[in-house]
Amino acid sequence: PQGDTIKIGLNYELSGDVATYGEASVQGIELAAEEVNAAGGIDGKKIELVKYDTKSDAAEATTLATKLMTQDKVITVIGPATSGGMKATIPVAERQKVPVVSGSATADDVTVDGNGVKQFAFRTCFNDSFQGTAAANYAVKKFSAKKAVILRDSSSDYSKGLADAFRETFTAGGGEIVSEDAYAKGADNFNAVMTKFKGQQFDVIYLPGYYTEAGKAIKQARDLGVTQPILGGDGFDSPVLAEQAGAQLKDVYFTNHYSSADQDPKVQDFIKAFEAKYSAEPNAFNALGYDTLKFVADGVSRATEKTGEGVQRALAETKGFAGVTGTFDVDENHNPVKAVVFIGYDKDGKLFSEKG
Amino acid sequence: MKNPLVRQALTLWVPLVLTYVIVLLLVQAGVVDAYMQVTIATICINIVLAVSLNLITGFTGQFSLGHAGFMAIGAYATALVTMRFDSIVGFIGGLLLGGIIAALVGFLIGLPTLRLRGDYIAIATLGMAEIIRILLQNFEFTNGAAGLSPVPQYMDWTWFFVLTVGSVMLIRNFVRSRQGRDAIAVREDEIAAESIGVNTTRSKVLAFTIGAFFGGVAGGMYASYFYVIKPEQFGFLKSIDILVIVVLGGLGSLSGSVIAAFLLAIISTLLQPFPGVRMILYALLLIVIMIFRPQGLLGNRELSLRLLPGLRKRRRDDAGTEAA
Amino acid sequence: MLEIKDLEVGFGGITALKGISLSVAEGEIVTLIGANGAGKTTTLRTVSGLVRPRAGKILVDGQDVTRLSAQARVKRGLVQVPEGRRVFPQMSVLENLELGAYLRKDAKSVASDLDDVFARFPRLADRRKQHAGTLSGGEQQMLAIGRALMSRPQILLLDEPSMGLAPLLVQEIFSIVSEINAGGTTVLLVEQNANMALQIAHRGYVLETGKIVLAGTAAELTSTDEVKRAYLGG
Amino acid sequence: MEQLAQQLVNGLALGSIYALIALGYTMVYGIIQLINFAHGDVYMVGAYVGYFCMVHLNLGFVESLVIAMAVCTVLGVVIERVAYKPLRKSTRIAVLITAIGVSLLLEYTMMFFVGADTRTYGVLPPFMEQSFNVGGVLITMKQIIIIGVSVLLMVVLQYIVRRTKVGKAMRAVSQDADAARLMGISVDNTISFTFALGSALAGAAGVLVGVYYNAINPLMGVLPGLKAFIAAVFGGIGLIPGALLGGYFIGAAETLVSGYWSSLYTDAVVFGILILVLIFKPTGLLGSNVREKV
Amino acid sequence: MSILDVKQLTRSFGGLTAVSHVDLTLDQGELVGLIGPNGAGKTTVFNLLTGVYPPSSGTIVFSAHGQTTSIGGKAPYAICRAGIGRTFQNIRLFKELTVLENVMIAFQQNQRYPLPTSLLRLPGFGRAEDEIRDGARELLEVMHLGHKAEEYAVNLSYGEQRHLEIARALATRPTLLLLDEPAAGMNPTETANLTRLITQIRQDFGLTILLIEHDMSLVMQICERIYVLDHGIVIASGTPDEVRSDPKVIEAYLGEEVDHA
Ligand SMILES: Nc1ncnc2c1ncn2[C@@H]1O[C@H](COP(=O)(O)OP(=O)(O)OP(=O)(O)O)[C@@H](O)[C@H]1O
Ligand SMILES: Nc1ncnc2c1ncn2[C@@H]1O[C@H](COP(=O)(O)OP(=O)(O)OP(=O)(O)O)[C@@H](O)[C@H]1O
Ligand SMILES: [Mg+2]
Ligand SMILES: [Mg+2]
């Protein structure tokens, strides 16, 4: 694509079920794009974002990815936020030879499946089994957990992926899953299931879900007197979690890409810039969106040929990209190689973080 | 124009074949680009969905809020079969199987619930669709919330054309036949229909089953074209989307459903550049259209070359002279 | 008392009333007769405000009420007993009657009117707690009339009060209407049963496809050949 | 045993919320036979008004509740006048589609202004965070408030509909609008009043839920709206006691299925029961089961 | 030979017994009236005969074409196919359909062709449809509605709608026709025309007719026998003259002076 701007497509869930994730990702992306443009753009060309709403519908994601690539002629498409939406755009990307990049499509088989690596698909987040495994190991190491219960989000493949990996690792290490249950997205009431858990013997709760429900679940669990440690994934990373759970946010831990307490100037600058623009603390989707745009911009600037294929080659060769959510290389499966961070609120509700 | 066969050829077959050939050529010449192809695919799927729901709700008068359930069954059946037997035979088999299972479920659900009246059927069908979705979300073989992907893509313009036109024609033939008139009688007055010998339960179940079959076929078309299916795509809001097309086109008007499917695609395209407010605009449009055109675009009339403006009487059904 | 001037009413493409004029003087019973679909019901519904006219005027005591809502006309004493009785089926007889007095604030006189209605229709008194929907046709007709009386009408508009009633009740209903009229209420009566209607009415109009084709005293109309042939079965 | 009692308390609180929303559904349905899909969204707006009052204006719980009810009352009336009234003479399904339009409009207008993300009511006054241990069963102050306020509002409602003049007018309009006009009843005002009442209840439910779960978002009305509608149908739509019964039944059923089986199937079981009930009692539990008189 | 034999027919709604131990027989070709005060249970008898409600107790036996059917508990459509047609007190037409379609739907119940023929327009479809259409048209002519064939039912005048209901009932090819207040809402002149029409179709179609009516001029003129119902009980039966002078009937139903008999 020629012209005086570099067009990047945003194909996100801005309405419907998972609008929260799409909207948050776009906030991060738009902030990053502003920064890149303020710094002179890429080779003197400004980034121009072309943004569409998938309505949280996979077919619409396909339609819009096609539109972005064929009619708007963008050089790369960012989004959708969910794995299902992302998967729906990958065949289009392969056909049109334009890369698609997601900051939050975490399912294991997004970038690689039985048929090999999806050449034009990238992501900047680690995958589900990575987090689930890390959480299981943490549970064993930190709490000497032998028995765990799992409460997952039945409508989310992310949650299922984390739960599956956790279960596998935990039981392989001799642990036992004594009970497992699931809620549907948007659930408000966890009293029933927590009352049920309360009547059982276990050491930790694994709650791989998003903060929207997790905050309520944590609060209701603690209100009912369920005192075991609660573990989660990067879906917990939002100020809303603390707001919802309030004073009951105790003994809660989750795997994440970075810690907002990290004194690395990159992280602190990002948090400051985000708060300045949106007057709210960033969450994981914000940070990942931010990194994804920077990651794409980096690829575009390194690409010798400013085409989809050129960008694809550059992205695949990314080494040592330093983002807010960690410094990483892109591996042969187009996954970022990142370190995991554990964020915790201890028994008194004090925040801490440790490297995994 | 006197000979009905000639007239039918001129007004029906010639335009259809021309449409097919022209679009085919345009696709090959690259004038119809990939995006327009996706849009056409969406329109075709929506036409089949809307026309089949119209049979149930518009013609037979059974208010169904569960059409997405049938669509889901068709989509999953097609996906599972073609993922295992990745061939054209597998695809056709999957599509048929999807339709048949959907029809079977429609039949089994319809038998007891169609005794209900009005809004109670709406809620029962809604419940059925939700149960189907929840089961798909929790079964192992459907891969839970993650859904199935990639489904081999067999749908192309030819298939879309054949399946869409075929579905519309079959449903049109149905509503313009003895069985169809029985169904319409049920809609108009169930007690009167029974009193003149119409087996109303049979009529309702038949319409419901046929509608479910084509709902399933539409699901199969969807799965095979969009290669990713997840349970959440077939939720309550999808059923509502289909209902919106049907009502917008006019309950009891097949051509209305077809036109509305196009119209909604156009509206959707026009709104795409405004992601922040598109849903607000869409909602406003919906309200305004309903206030100014509550009976839908065509009411219960059919669009035809003979429907001249100002002509109040509906065009007579020429079914009797149409024997093939 | 009631005056209708050049009233025109249409529904979509149909013109139901093509400019009719008629008047009812205080204390009169005036009957409107005509074949099915002539526009009798439409006339009454327009007078009571349920239907908006395309053109024309409706005057009550010389005042124009054409633009008033139905409920405002009830306040002016213009009360209709609708075709097909239209009682509130899920409410008791008593509640139906109380609704008749919906706009009245004077609890005392309402209570005494209620007693009057029950005195006039003892059968309703027996069934005061029964749901109106389960009453027989004749009882419902009595209830509908009683309900209208509860609003102290100046002008009572009656639409086919004898429709579907047993012969015994038909006679009863007509004598009730005469009585009510004798008590000072002006009545505009629509009837298919033209024989009976003309027996109790002072004057009458004949409506044919939305137009008044004949008018006169009851006696004149009864002896007109056309009327005999078309409406009296003679 | 203790666990069962605990689950029943949980179910009662949940059921109260469904019942409050279901009442609005049922009243509107009763009077104009409309499944008012926007009702769940009025509840959402109520939750946001409460949020605004409590978090940004620092008002107390009761004041916020009253303000939210007032705002929702106005909103309900405006919706009815602008979107539904022009369709009085149209088919019911056309009004239904309009209602869906209004529902989307409320959701996305709200999202446009406040974003899609969850908001929280923040720190509540300490008295609301209390909880009581009654023989091993934990009852929170919030549960008591929810159940108490719901029951109170329902009693008030039942009084209005059964005993007052305007309540009688509501029933008259619902049974025969034209005949009601002939009694001097203003049908439009009565319908507006019904919407006002139903919306006020939805607004109250919104604030109660905001306090109870401490989380609100622009799409929060969709699911409870649907559940409340089911509750209303379950009990017999158009009937006030039916809405109550349905609300409590669904609350209890959900809680028990989650508590003793699996949350995975909660909704499926609820829908399954619903379908069964309808098959054997086609007009809901309290609905009268007669065939149309011909 | 009796074609309808009703024994001890009873139906209650909640506490109310609308029809109580009714015995009733109809002979082939008779024209019989069913009269009685409002709420006596006349329409309910029709609803029981046509399966709209199942009886609480009692038997209904219907014999036509050499076949004897027990009606109790059968679905309305099956009863119709056995040969009982009816009209409704509150007109129930298919309002949004044309006059012709109204009759065609009734007519086609005896002119059945299979689903594949409909869906695929197999040979035979056109002929079958033509037969249905022509048959329906003929009946419209009989009922003086031929010129309104393409009109929507809802646009017909009240009297025409009543005629159409009869045409539609005739199209089911009944042996027994039940008419529920066919003259309600008609003026005396219109009633007289209808009276002629009823006797004519009875003759032309070889019908047995049971008729509910409050218009005594019609009933007394054409009915050969009359049953009088009150509070669900048959209080009298016999020829018009017998019934007219029965003091019980006068007291419960007719009133003292029957002016236009
Ligand atoms: N709401 C309406 N919509 C359309 N047409 C109507 C409506 N109401 C009445 N009409 C038409 O207006 C004409 C007059 O009808 P109206 O009911 O006033 O007749 P009527 O004299 O009362 O007859 P009947 O003796 O049958 O009661 C008829 O052609 C009727 O079909
Ligand atoms: N579905 C029903 N539910 C309850 N009661 C009913 C039902 N159908 C009829 N009834 C009652 O049964 C009694 C007989 O009614 P029916 O309609 O048979 O009377 P009818 O003799 O036809 O009177 P009319 O001459 O007024 O039409 C009435 O009291 C009526 O209210
Ligand atoms: Mg009339
Ligand atoms: Mg009757």
Q: Do residues E67 and E181 share a domain?
A: yes
CA-wise closest residue to B212 among B55, B14, B62, B88: B55
* pLDDT of B92 over the 60 cut: yes
- pLDDT at A6 (0 to 100): 95
- Dig out the tokens for E16 from the structure: 């109310």
Residue of D nearest to E44 (CA): D294
Q: Do residues E208 and E259 share a domain?
A: yes
- pLDDT at B317 (0 to 100): 32
How confident is the model over A128-151, as pLDDT tens digits?
999 999 999 999 999 999 999 999
> Phi and psi (nearest 5°) for A326?
120, 160
Contact between chains at A63 and B33 (C-beta distance less than 8 A): no
Q: How many CB atoms lie within 10 A of CB D113?
A: 9
Take atom 30 of ligand 1 and give the residue whose Cα is closest: C37
To the nearest 10 degrees (0 to 180), the angle between helices B278-292 and D92-114 is 160
Three-state DSSP state, D148? helix
The secondary structure of chain C, three-state, reads: CEEEEEEEEEECCEEEEEEEEEEECCCCEEEEEECCCCCHHHHHHHHHCCCCCCEEEEEECCEECCCCCHHHHHHCCEEEECCCCCCCCCCEHHHHHHHHCCCCCCHHHHHHHHHHHHHHCHHHHHCCCCEHHHCCHHHHHHHHHHHHHCCCCCEEEEECCCCCCCHHHHHHHHHHHHHHHHCCCEEEEECCCHHHHHHHCCEEEEEECCEEEEEEEHHHHHHCHHHHHHHCCC
- pLDDT at A187 (0 to 100): 87
The per-residue DSSP string of A63-98 comes to: HHHHHHHHTS--SEEE--SSHHHHHHHHHHHHHHT-
How confident is the model over D117-127, as pLDDT tens digits?
989 988 788 88
Q: How far is CA E73 from CA A235, C76, E55, E77, E78, in A?
A: 61, 54, 7, 12, 10
**pLDDT level of residue E20 (50, 70, 90 thresholds):** very high
**pLDDT level of residue E15 (50, 70, 90 thresholds):** confident
Last residue of a domain, one of E132, E153, E173: E173
Distance between Cα C216 and ligand 3 center (Å): 21
- pLDDT at A2 (0 to 100): 55
Exposure string (b/e) for A186-209, b if CB count within 10 Å is 16 or more?
Answer: bbbbbbbbbbbbbeeebbbbbbbb
Q: Do chains A and C touch (3 or more CB pairs under 8 A)?
A: no
Angle CA(B235)–CA(B240)–CA(B243) in degrees, nearest 5? Answer: 135
Distance between Cα E46 and ligand 4 center (Å): 9
* pLDDT of D288 over the 80 cut: no
> Which of E186, E188, E214 lies closest to C195 in CB terms?
E188
**For the CA of C134, the nearest atom of ligand 2:** 31
Q: What is the DSSP letter of A238?
A: S
Last residue of a domain, one of E173, E200, E234: E173
- pLDDT at B316 (0 to 100): 34
Low-confidence ranges of chain C (pLDDT < 70): 234
Pocket lining: C46 vs ligand 1, CB cutoff 6 Å: no
Owner of token pair 């009951």? A248
Instruction: Kindly provide the ipTM of the predicted complex, given to two decimals.
Output: 0.91
Who's near B248: CB < 8 A, 6+ residues apart? B256, B260, B263, B264, B289, B296, B297, D97
* CA dist., res. D70 & res. D76, Å (int): 10
Q: Which helix (H) or strand (E) holds D83?
A: none
Last residue of a domain, one of E124, E144, E173: E173
- pLDDT at D1 (0 to 100): 67
Tell me the average pLDDT across E215-244: 94
Distance between Cα E183 and ligand 4 center (Å): 12
Exposure string (b/e) for B45-62, b if CB count within 10 Å is 16 or more?
Answer: bbbbbbbbbbbbbbbbbb
Three-state DSSP state, E226? strand
- pLDDT at D289 (0 to 100): 55
Q: Do residues E33 and E162 share a domain?
A: no
Tell me the average pLDDT across A251-267: 90
* pLDDT of D204 over the 50 cut: yes
Look at chain E and report how many structural domains it folds into.
2
Judge residue D23's burial from the number of C-beta atoms within 10 Å of its C-beta, 0-12 exposed, 13-18 middle, 19 or more buried.
Answer: buried
User: CB distance from E81 to chain B under 8 Å?
Assistant: yes
* CA dist., res. E79 & res. E73, Å (int): 10
> Which of A15, A192, A246 lies closest to D258 in CB terms?
A192
- Dig out the tokens for B213 from the structure: 């079959």
Tell me the average pLDDT across A264-270: 93
* pLDDT of B318 over the 50 cut: no
More confident residue, A1 or E196: E196
Strand partners, C4: C22, C58
Q: Do residues E222 and E164 share a domain?
A: no
Range of the domain at E250: 1-83+176-261
pLDDT above 90 as % of chain A = 79
How confident is the model over A341-355, as pLDDT tens digits?
999 999 988 889 888
Class for domain C3-77+153-232, per CATH?
alpha beta
Q: Do residues E169 and E186 share a domain?
A: no
Q: Which helix (H) or strand (E) holds D35?
A: none
Contact between chains at C69 and D186 (C-beta distance less than 8 A): yes
- Dig out the tokens for D232 from the structure: 């209303």
Domain limits of chain D?
22-219
Q: How many CB atoms lie within 10 A of CB C150?
A: 23
**For the CA of C135, the nearest atom of ligand 2:** 31
Q: Do residues E165 and E190 share a domain?
A: no
Strand partners, A351: A345
Most D CBs within 10 Å: which of E48, E52, E95, E180, as the mutation test of the D interface? E52
How confident is the model over B232-245, as pLDDT tens digits?
999 988 999 999 99
- pLDDT at E257 (0 to 100): 53
CA C5 from centroid of its chain's CA atoms: 19
**pLDDT level of residue E258 (50, 70, 90 thresholds):** very low
Give me the sheet containing C155-159, strands edge to edge: C78-81, C155-159, C186-190, C29-34, C203-208, C211-217
- pLDDT at B313 (0 to 100): 41
**pLDDT level of residue A94 (50, 70, 90 thresholds):** very high
Q: Do residues E190 and E78 share a domain?
A: yes
* pLDDT of B315 over the 50 cut: no
- pLDDT at B309 (0 to 100): 40
CA-wise closest residue to E202 among E184, E225, E224, E177: E177
- pLDDT at B117 (0 to 100): 77
Q: Do residues E207 and E78 share a domain?
A: yes
Instruction: Pick left, alpha or beta for residue D147 (phi over 0 → left; psi -120 to 50 → alpha; otherwise beta).
Output: alpha
Tell me the average pLDDT across A280-289: 93
Domain limits of chain C?
3-77+153-232, 87-148
- pLDDT at D293 (0 to 100): 60
- pTM of the full predicted structure? 0.91
More confident residue, B125 or E111: B125
Q: Are E34 and E224 in contact (CB under 8 A)?
A: no
How confident is the model over D102-157, as pLDDT tens digits?
999 999 999 999 998 989 988 788 888 888 888 888 898 989 999 998 888 888 88
Strand partners, C156: C79, C187
- pLDDT at A260 (0 to 100): 83
To the nearest 10 degrees (0 to 180), the angle between helices C93-100 and C137-149 is 30
* CA dist., res. E196 & res. A33, Å (int): 89
CA-wise closest residue to C146 among C126, C121, C129: C121
**pLDDT level of residue A4 (50, 70, 90 thresholds):** confident
* CA dist., res. D157 & res. D198, Å (int): 9
Judge residue D158's burial from the number of C-beta atoms within 10 Å of its C-beta, 0-12 exposed, 13-18 middle, 19 or more buried.
Answer: middle
| Mean predicted lDDT score pLDDT of chain E | 91
Contact between chains at C151 and D184 (C-beta distance less than 8 A): yes
Judge residue E73's burial from the number of C-beta atoms within 10 Å of its C-beta, 0-12 exposed, 13-18 middle, 19 or more buried.
Answer: exposed
The secondary structure of chain B, three-state, reads: CCCHHHHHHHHHHHHHHHHHHHHHHHHHHCCCCHHHHHHHHHHHHHHHHHHHHHHHHHHCCCCCCCHHHHHHHHHHHHHHHHHHCCCHHHHHHHHHHHHHHHHHHHHHHHHHHCCCCCHHHHHHHHHHHHHHHHHHHHCCCCCHHHCECCCCCCCCHHHHHHHHHHHHHHHHHHHCCHHHHHHHHHHHCHHHHHHCCCCHHHHHHHHHHHHHHHHHHHHHHHHHHHCCECHHHHCHHHHHHHHHHHHHHCCCCHHHHHHHHHHHHHHHHHHCCCCCCHHHHHHHHHHHHHHHCCCCCCCCCCCCCCCCCCCCCCCCCCHHHCCC
How confident is the model over E160-182, as pLDDT tens digits?
899 999 999 999 999 999 999 99
Cis ω on the peptide bond leading into residue B150 (within 30° of 0)?
yes
Determine the topology of domain B33-323 in CATH: ABC transporter involved in vitamin B12 uptake, BtuC (1.10.3470)
* pLDDT of E261 over the 70 cut: no
> Which of B116, B117, B283 lies closest to D108 in CB terms?
B283
In the chain, the amino acid numbered B118 is G
> What residues flank ion ligand 4 with Cβ within 5 A?
E 43, 89
> Which of E53, E89, E92 lies closest to D291 in CB terms?
E53
Who's near A129: CB < 8 A, 6+ residues apart? A108, A161, A164, A165
- pLDDT at C136 (0 to 100): 79
- pLDDT at B307 (0 to 100): 45
Judge residue E179's burial from the number of C-beta atoms within 10 Å of its C-beta, 0-12 exposed, 13-18 middle, 19 or more buried.
Answer: buried
Q: How many CB atoms lie within 10 A of CB C217?
A: 13
In a domain, E216, yes or no: yes
**pLDDT level of residue B314 (50, 70, 90 thresholds):** very low
